[in-house]
Structure 1
């Protein structure tokens, strides 16, 4: 038995049995349902309610409530019959549990929505990597960030990046993608220019980082160049080889003198800034694809609740935000504002949030018996715990 399908059937059955339950489901939308027939039926029920169907004021539920809902939904979807509507009624254990069933439907919708937008980000990143662009990736990342913020407010939580646990991080780890020969050549040409042209490091040192290189060995070489530049020492193929040896890169097999010689011999007269931008574009699309894979893996984890899923997904976008800020610096643009922002005052009202969460109202605790002895001295006031008034 699929819990999500059962929840969709149960919430629809509850509304077919008791139309007043719609007043507790104002936060639930038709597109939150997975099956198209359920989307159409829930939309039809909402329309009948807004049109003032006689069943809303009748003492006994008339059969027309079910038949009219089926007729209205049949205008938008095929295959719906009155027999299936009665199947939905039988699938509802208790009509008063409709908000809980609706919360289950909303949870499934959040997981599906996050996964769909993560797939779109991954597709945009791969397309931009082939075309040598980043605009589509940045637009899609903005859309994903906005969707996560909106879902957080619908669920009633603050959108803030939260790192997943170690187990979840290991589960979302993916093998690195295969890099194209063009990306590796761009990195080799950039390193050659930085090594052979005096002052070339000044063009890229402010925004290019070792992690931007797809080949780890190239990233280590760039780190050596950065160290020489930081100390104000001369840069050429001999000093670079010396710095690599000091860092143990030759001893552990990360680099070889032959590799360094091949890179420097392949130097072509060019601008370090131009090659640096090409390396930076590749880093941005590669980071976006990695974030998209991590977010999709989180969305496919049924154990994660919506609040944790959203906050972990925002955290997975953090590396992309960092690369994006340096990309803006490289192009002379102001860095983008942080994605996660506190909820605005026009968010869902508290009553809707409470219904969406379907939290049970705790019963007031019984008052303790009055003490018979002398009253103890009042204790020092303790500040309230976080999150409580």
Structure 2
């Protein structure tokens, strides 16, 4: 017998033997049971207005008419419940006093099923939106999954915060980008190379990881580096930056990828619009990958529910980062977001850095005017313990 089924039967058997144990199971809901018949039976059992429930005693015999009425009410809503099955449930309970622990088994199974269900739904919607060129459904379902994880964290009693896994969960392999996607990315890179100021229009929110082809992403990183250094962007400077980074020698880029982009002439189009479409596709691909990772986490029985929720939230982190840039591209920056210059061209700065810390770092890197020279006696007078500069207080680490 499966452990989850054994837990559900043991819990229902414990309640049938001592109905007042339901007071210790108020955190459990009928939807937490995997079998539909068990959901119905638990819903009937926990109905406080059921005849005979209030008259039952913890150490007394359960009224026979209460059991009969329970069986009749449950049988009206589902099939497969009869007197013999009630005997099976009672026999499946080794210790009625362990009902809360059996309930935790039921809740844990419910958490895994719920996470899997919403992650699979996110994956299906993301794949549909990727084919349709839409993102609204993916964004909505991602919010739903995040809300479900928050609710499950509260029910299990664990902190609602991301938890980095020791190893990245193995998910299903992703499909290779289609030829149309590669052609669109190639055309966009041609515009960015040959149109003056095109990179500046998208540099703040488009990242190398948004490209489906890794080689195209590294080529965009070269363009971002040139823009970041304030150097002109054309076919010659781009080729030099590619060679300087060794992208052709290490196999990251192939000549057949680079040559059409550099040799394109009279290319016309909106680099900003094409970049937005590329970002839309990146959002749906990231959502699909996050959903695959969450599904793999839910299938790992070694993870406790608290670990599952925390690591699932961590898996949604890359998706939220892409969504933040998507809002920026559409003129809807996240409230309270702090804009800082990226440390690496084409790579976002670390999110969540307080403005005070950014300003402190900038002040440390800014040359300071030399201090005025003072007489030795005056310097010694200023170095008394009462006037010495107090030691700096370390910044509180992020939780």
CA drift of 1:16 comes to 0.5
| 1:362 aligned partner | none
Q: What CA deviation, in whole Å up to 9, does each residue of 1:83-135 have, x standing for no partner?
A: 10110000000111000000100000000000000000001100100100000
Between the aligned partners of 1:253 and 1:304, the Cα distance in structure 2 is: 39
Name the SS of the counterpart of 1:332 in structure 2: coil
Between the aligned partners of 1:134 and 1:85, the Cα distance in structure 2 is: 49
Contact 2:52–2:63 (CA<8 Å) still a contact in 1? Answer: no
Q: What CA deviation, in whole Å up to 9, does each residue of 1:123-182 have, x standing for no partner?
A: 11001001000000000000000000000001111110010112xx1x424423222223
| 2:122 aligned partner | 121
Between the aligned partners of 1:113 and 1:119, the Cα distance in structure 2 is: 10
| 2:352 aligned partner | none
Q: What CA deviation, in whole Å up to 9, does each residue of 1:284-326 have, x standing for no partner?
A: 0000000000000000111111000000000000000100000
Between the aligned partners of 1:140 and 1:253, the Cα distance in structure 2 is: 38
| 2:348 aligned partner | none
Between the aligned partners of 1:183 and 1:243, the Cα distance in structure 2 is: 25
| 1:101 aligned partner | 102
Between the aligned partners of 2:193 and 2:53, the Cα distance in structure 1 is: 82
| 2:363 aligned partner | none
| 2:224 aligned partner | 226
Structure 1: runs of 5+ lacking an equivalent:
339-389
| 1:371 aligned partner | none
Alignment partner of 1:188 out of 186, 189, 201: 186
Between the aligned partners of 1:31 and 1:297, the Cα distance in structure 2 is: 23
Alignment pair present for 1:139 and 2:133: no
Contact 1:44–1:69 (CA<8 Å) still a contact in 2? Answer: yes
Between the aligned partners of 2:104 and 2:75, the Cα distance in structure 1 is: 26
Q: Which has the higher contact order (CA 8 A, sep 6+)?
A: 1
| 1:384 aligned partner | none
Change in CA separation of 1:254 and 1:334 when aligned onto 2, cut-off 3 Å: closer
Between the aligned partners of 1:62 and 1:213, the Cα distance in structure 2 is: 68
Between the aligned partners of 2:99 and 2:65, the Cα distance in structure 1 is: 21
Contact 2:235–2:263 (CA<8 Å) still a contact in 1? Answer: no
Correspondences of 1:361-376 after superposition (within 5 Å):
none
Alignment pair present for 1:73 and 2:88: no
Report the more deviating stretch, 230-239 or 242-251: 230-239
Q: What TM-score does the superposition give when structure 2 sets the normalisation length?
A: 0.81
Between the aligned partners of 1:336 and 1:141, the Cα distance in structure 2 is: 19
Between the aligned partners of 1:204 and 1:289, the Cα distance in structure 2 is: 24
Alignment pair present for 1:332 and 2:326: no
Contact 1:211–1:219 (CA<8 Å) still a contact in 2? Answer: yes
Change in CA separation of 1:136 and 1:54 when aligned onto 2, cut-off 3 Å: closer
Contact 1:114–1:148 (CA<8 Å) still a contact in 2? Answer: yes
Alignment pair present for 1:212 and 2:213: no
- How many residues in Structure 1 have an aligned counterpart in Structure 2? 334
Between the aligned partners of 1:257 and 1:109, the Cα distance in structure 2 is: 53
Between the aligned partners of 2:129 and 2:99, the Cα distance in structure 1 is: 45
Between the aligned partners of 1:309 and 1:258, the Cα distance in structure 2 is: 44
CA drift of 1:65 comes to 2.3
Q: What TM-score does the superposition give when structure 1 sets the normalisation length?
A: 0.83
CA drift of 1:259 comes to 2.4
Structure 2: runs of 5+ lacking an equivalent:
338-399
